[in-house]
């Protein structure tokens, strides 16, 4: 198991929500303060607090932004790349898990659980590892 997966799962066991667990696992690698990432990601747990988009998927978006954004407040130029990258990651997650919606993944309405939170966290981290380190073998 890769270090980021281990860290994300440990974060989740400590009480981080899914979004915090994933995004904080990459904070150091991306030069971000873990406490600030933790605070920022808090409302994205429990499917954005409403069982909407899975927190692990939301965290993938945050990591893409931390990785791609040029931070140029005057003339932002990296939005298209961020959107493209996130679309690819979302499609991978959807294909593997059958949904990107927390309530569907948890089977709230159907009784059929598609994936555990730990499974979603591990998948998101693995997809992000591939994204951030495309030249490394899995």
Domain-embedded: residue 99? yes
Integer Cα distance of 90 and 106 in angstroms:
17
Domain-embedded: residue 137? no
Mean pLDDT of the chain: 95
Domain-embedded: residue 138? no
Burial label, 78 (beta-carbon count in 10 A; 0-12, 13-18, 19+): middle
Comparing CA positions, the residue from 79, 73, 127, 78 lying closest to residue 100 is 127
Q: How many domains is the chain partitioned into structurally?
A: 1
Comparing CA positions, the residue from 6, 61, 71, 13 lying closest to residue 37 is 61
Give 109's pLDDT tier (boundaries 50, 70, 90): very high
| 0.85 exceeded by pTM | yes
Which residue range is the domain that position 97 belongs to?
A: 3-132
Integer Cα distance of 74 and 22 in angstroms:
30
């Amino acid at each position: 198991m890769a270090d980021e997966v281990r860290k994300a799962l440990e974060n989740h066991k400590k009480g981080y929500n899914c979004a915090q667990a994933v995004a904080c696992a990459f904070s150091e690698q991306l030069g971000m303060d873990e406490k600030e990432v933790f605070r920022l990601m808090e409302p994205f747990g429990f499917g954005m607090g409403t069982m909407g988009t899975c927190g692990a998927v939301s965290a993938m978006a945050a990591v893409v932004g931390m990785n791609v954004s040029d931070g140029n407040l005057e003339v932002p130029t990296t939005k298209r790349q961020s959107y493209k990258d996130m679309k690819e990651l979302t499609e991978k997650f959807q294909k593997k898990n059958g949904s990107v919606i927390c309530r569907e993944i948890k089977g709230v309405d159907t009784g059929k659980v598609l994936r555990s939170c730990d499974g979603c966290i591990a998948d998101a981290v693995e997809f992000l590892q591939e994204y951030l380190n495309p030249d490394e073998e899995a």
